[in-house]
C-alpha cells in the first residue's frame, strides 16, 4: 500500500463509540470529586425516594378498616415521608449543581484543547478545510456534546441507582415477585441496544452534514458581495437547499429510530406492571402479602421500570453527543505541524543572508510546482519576484516563512537551515504585508503594535505618519484607542492595508516580505508609501512580490518565475535589454502589447 493510500485510509477511519467514550472519561477524570459527589448524591436521592413507597405501604397497613386506624403509627410514617421528600429534593438540587459544574468544565477543557490545537495545525490542514466546518466542530458540536453529557449525568446516574435500589427493596419485600420483574425487564435492554446501534450512524452523519451546512453559510456570508455581483443567488440557494434536504432526511431517520426506544421500553414496562399486579393480587388473596405491601410493590414496579424509559432517552441523546464529540476529538487529534528540533536555535535578530539550494516543493503529491529552485540573497538586498498567476510567487513566500516545509533542498538564513531555527524566531525575523489584510477585533493601537507592544507613543505616531494613517486615525472619536470590529469592516480596503503596513513598520523586522502590499492603495498614496518602504527596506533583506512592475524597478535583483522555475534573473535594466519574458510582461502593462 502506498504512503498516500495509507494517509487516506487513516483520514477516513472513524473511531468507535467506545474509543470516543474513553476519551470523554479521561476528561471527566480531572473532576473526580464532582463525579463521586454526584454519584453519592444520586444514591442518597434514590434510597430516600425508594424508602417512601415502603413507608406508604406501612401507612396503608395502619388503616386496617373502619374504626381500626393506628393514628400514632400513621403520624410517624407521614412524618418520615415528609423528611424523605425534603432531603430528596435537597440531594437532587446539589447533584444537579455538581453535574452542571462537571459538564461545562469538561466541555470548556475540550474547547480549549481544540482551539489551542488549531494554533499548532499546519496550514495545509487549514487550507484544506472550510473555515465554517472547523468552527462547527469547536462551537456547534461542542454544544451538542454538552447537552447530551449533561442529560447523561443527570438521568443516567439516578436511573441506574434507581434500578439497583428498587430491585433491592423489592427483594426485601417479596422475592418471587421481584424475580418475575427481573426476568421480564431484560427485553427492554435488548430493544434499546438494537435501536441504539442504528441510531448512532445517523447522528454521526447528521453532525457531518451540519458541519458542511455551517461551512456553506460561513462561505456565503463572507462572499455575499461576490455572490450578488455574479447573480449566483439561485445557485447558492439550490446548494443550500440540497444540503438542508439531506440534513432533514438524515435527521428524520435518526429521530425515527431514536423515538422507537421510548414506546418499546414503555410496552415492556407495562408488562412488568401487569405481572406485578396479577401475581401480587393472587398473593394477597392467599394471605401471603398485605394490601399495603402490594401497593408498595406496584409503586416499586413503576419506579423500577421508569428509569428504563429515561435511560433509553438518555442513550439517544448520548448517541448524538458521542457523534459530535468524535468530530471534536478528530480535530484535536489531527496531526500537528512538526515540532521544532530540541536543539533549534532562536536568534533575536538576523543579518538577512538568505540562500535557497536546489529546492523543490508541491502542495499535492504528483503535481509539480516549484522544482530545483536556487536563490542567493545578500544582507540588505531587495529581491523582487514577478511572473504570471500560479507560477509559485506566493508559495515561495510561504516556504520562506516556513508555513509549509519544502520537499527537497534547503533554505538557509545567515547560513543556518531554517528547520534548525525555531519557527517563532524565524517568523519574528520577518515583517510581512500580504495582499489579503487581516485585523483583529480590538483597538487600532492593539492592531498596529501587535509585533512590538512595547513601542512608545512617539515612535508609534512617527511610524503612523510615515504610513499615512495618522491623519485618518486622529479624526476617529477615540483616536488610536478606537475599537474596531473583526477585520476592520468600518474601514476601506486601502485603509486596512495601510494599518497592516504600519503594523510591520512598528515591529522593526530584520527582513521584509511584501506580497502585493500596495495593491489596494491609490497611485498617489502608493508613491508616498513607496518612499516609506524604501526607508524601511534600507539595510534589510526584502522580498517583494508584485504584479505592478513599476513598483520593483529599483530592486537589486528581479526573479522572473514561470511554472515554478526562475527563467530570468537580473535588475530592471538588464532584463529590459534582454527583451525576454520580463520585457514582454513590462510591455504588456505599459504599452498594452500582448505577451
The domains of the chain, with CATH numbers, are 14-332 (1.20.1560.10)
Q: Dmax over Cα atoms in the chain, in whole Å?
A: 125
Residue 309's CB: how many other CB atoms inside 10 A?
21
| 117, 129, 339 from 336: Cα distances, Å | 7, 15, 8
Ranges of the chain with pLDDT below 70: 1-15, 64-67, 153-154, 185-186, 188-189, 191-193, 196-197, 225, 229, 262, 305, 308-313, 316, 518-521, 525, 528, 532, 550, 590-595
Cβ pair 495, 472 in contact under 8 A = yes
pLDDT of residue 354: 92
pLDDT confidence of residue 3: 41
Q: How many other CB atoms are found less than 10 A from the CB of residue 288?
A: 12
For residue 410, what are the β-bridge partners?
A: 357
Model pLDDT for residues 108-160, shown as the tens digit of each residue: 898 899 888 888 888 888 877 877 788 888 888 888 888 777 777 667 777 77
pLDDT at 5: 42
82's grid cell? 415528609
pLDDT digits (tens, 9 = 90+) for 329-339: 888 888 888 88
3-state secondary structure 54-105: HHHHHHHHCEEECCEECHHHHHHHHHHHHHHHHHHHHHHHHHHHHHHHHHHH
DSSP 248-280: HHHHHHHHHHHHTHHHHHHHHHHHHHHHHHHHH
What is the pLDDT at residue 192? 67
Q: Judge if pTM exceeds 0.75.
A: no
pLDDT value at residue 391:
78
Would you put residue 380 in left (φ > 0), alpha (ψ -120 to 50) or beta? left
Q: Which residues, at least 6 apart from 570, have a Cβ–Cβ distance to it below 8 Å?
A: 557, 558, 578
pLDDT for the residue 2 = 42
pLDDT of residue 193: 67
pLDDT, residue 411, reads: 93
Residue 48 carries which DSSP code?
Answer: H
Amino acid at each position: 500500500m502506498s504512503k498516500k493510500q495509507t494517509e487516506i485510509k487513516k483520514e477516513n477511519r472513524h473511531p468507535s463509540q467506545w474509543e470516543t467514550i474513553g476519551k470523554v472519561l479521561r476528561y471527566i477524570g480531572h473532576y473526580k470529586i464532582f463525579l463521586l459527589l454526584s454519584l453519592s448524591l444520586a444514591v442518597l436521592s434514590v434510597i430516600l425516594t425508594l424508602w417512601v413507597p415502603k413507608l406508604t405501604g406501612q401507612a396503608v397497613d395502619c388503616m386496617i378498616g373502619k374504626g381500626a386506624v393506628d393514628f400514632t403509627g400513621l403520624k410517624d410514617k407521614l412524618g418520615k415521608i415528609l423528611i424523605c421528600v425534603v432531603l430528596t429534593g435537597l440531594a437532587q438540587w446539589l447533584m444537579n449543581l455538581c453535574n452542571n459544574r462537571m459538564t461545562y468544565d469538561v466541555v470548556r477543557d475540550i474547547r480549549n484543547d481544540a482551539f489551542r490545537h488549531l494554533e499548532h495545525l499546519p496550514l495545509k490542514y487549514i487550507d484544506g478545510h472550510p473555515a465554517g466546518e472547523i468552527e462547527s466542530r469547536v462551537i456547534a458540536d461542542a454544544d451538542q456534546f454538552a447537552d447530551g453529557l449533561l442529560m447523561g449525568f443527570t438521568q443516567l446516574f439516578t436511573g441506574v441507582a434507581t434500578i439497583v435500589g428498587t430491585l433491592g427493596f423489592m427483594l426485601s419485600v417479596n422475592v418471587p415477585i421481584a424475580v418475575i420483574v427481573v426476568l421480564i425487564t431484560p427485553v427492554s435492554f435488548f430493544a434499546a441496544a438494537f435501536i441504539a446501534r442504528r441510531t448512532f450512524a445517523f447522528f454521526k452523519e447528521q453532525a457531518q452534514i451540519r458541519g458542511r451546512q455551517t461551512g456553506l453559510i460561513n462561505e456565503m456570508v463572507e462572499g455575499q458581495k461576490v455572490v450578488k455581483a455574479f447573480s449566483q443567488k439561485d445557485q447558492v440557494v439550490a446548494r443550500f437547499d440540497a444540503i438542508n434536504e439531506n440534513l432533514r432526511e438524515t435527521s428524520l431517520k435518526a429521530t425515527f429510530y431514536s423515538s422507537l426506544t421510548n414506546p418499546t421500553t414503555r410496552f415492556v414496562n407495562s408488562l412488568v406492571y401487569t405481572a406485578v399486579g396479577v401475581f401480587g393480587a393472587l398473593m394477597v388473596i392467599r394471605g401471603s402479602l398485605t394490601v399495603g405491601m402490594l401497593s408498595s410493590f406496584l409503586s416499586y414496579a413503576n419506579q423500577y421500570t421508569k428509569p428504563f424509559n429515561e435511560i433509553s432517552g438518555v442513550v439517544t441523546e448520548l448517541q448524538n453527543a458521542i457523534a459530535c464529540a468524535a468530530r471534536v476529538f478528530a480535530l484535536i487529534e489531527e496531526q500537528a505541524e512538526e515540532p521544532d528540533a530540541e536543539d533549534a536555535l532562536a536568534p533575536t535578530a538576523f543579518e538577512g543572508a538568505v540562500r535557497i539550494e536546489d529546492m523543490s516543493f508541491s502542495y499535492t503529491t504528483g503535481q509539480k510546482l516549484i522544482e530545483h529552485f536556487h536563490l542567493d540573497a545578500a544582507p540588505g538586498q531587495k529581491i523582487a519576484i514577478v511572473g504570471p498567476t500560479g507560477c509559485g510567487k506566493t508559495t515561495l513566500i510561504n516556504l520562506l516563512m516556513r508555513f509549509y516545509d519544502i520537499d527537497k533542498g534547503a533554505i538557509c538564513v545567515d547560513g543556518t537551515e531554517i528547520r534548525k531555527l525555531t519557527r517563532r524566531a524565524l517568523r519574528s525575523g520577518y515583517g510581512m504585508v500580504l495582499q489579503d489584510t487581516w485585523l483583529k477585533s480590538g483597538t487600532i493601537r492593539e492592531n498596529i503594535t501587535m509585533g512590538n507592544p512595547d513601542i512608545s507613543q512617539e515612535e508609534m505616531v512617527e511610524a503612523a505618519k510615515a504610513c499615512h494613517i495618522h491623519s485618518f486615525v486622529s479624526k476617529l472619536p477615540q483616536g488610536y484607542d478606537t475599537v474596531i470590529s473583526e477585520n476592520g469592516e468600518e474601514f476601506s480596503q486601502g485603509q486596512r492595508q495601510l494599518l497592516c503596513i504600519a503594523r510591520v513598520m512598528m515591529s522593526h523586522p530584520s527582513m521584509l516580505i511584501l506580497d502585493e502590499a500596495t495593491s489596494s492603495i491609490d497611485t498617489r498614496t502608493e508613491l508616498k508609501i513607496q518612499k516609506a518602504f524604501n526607508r524601511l527596506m534600507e539595510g534589510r533583506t526584502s522580498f517583494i512580490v508584485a504584479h505592478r512592475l513599476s513598483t520593483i524597478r529599483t530592486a537589486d535583483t528581479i526573479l522572473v518565475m514561470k511554472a515554478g522555475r526562475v527563467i530570468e534573473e537580473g535588475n530592471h535594466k538588464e532584463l529590459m535589454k534582454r527583451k525576454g519574458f520580463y520585457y514582454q510582461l513590462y510591455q504588456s502593462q505599459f504599452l498594452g502589447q500582448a505577451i
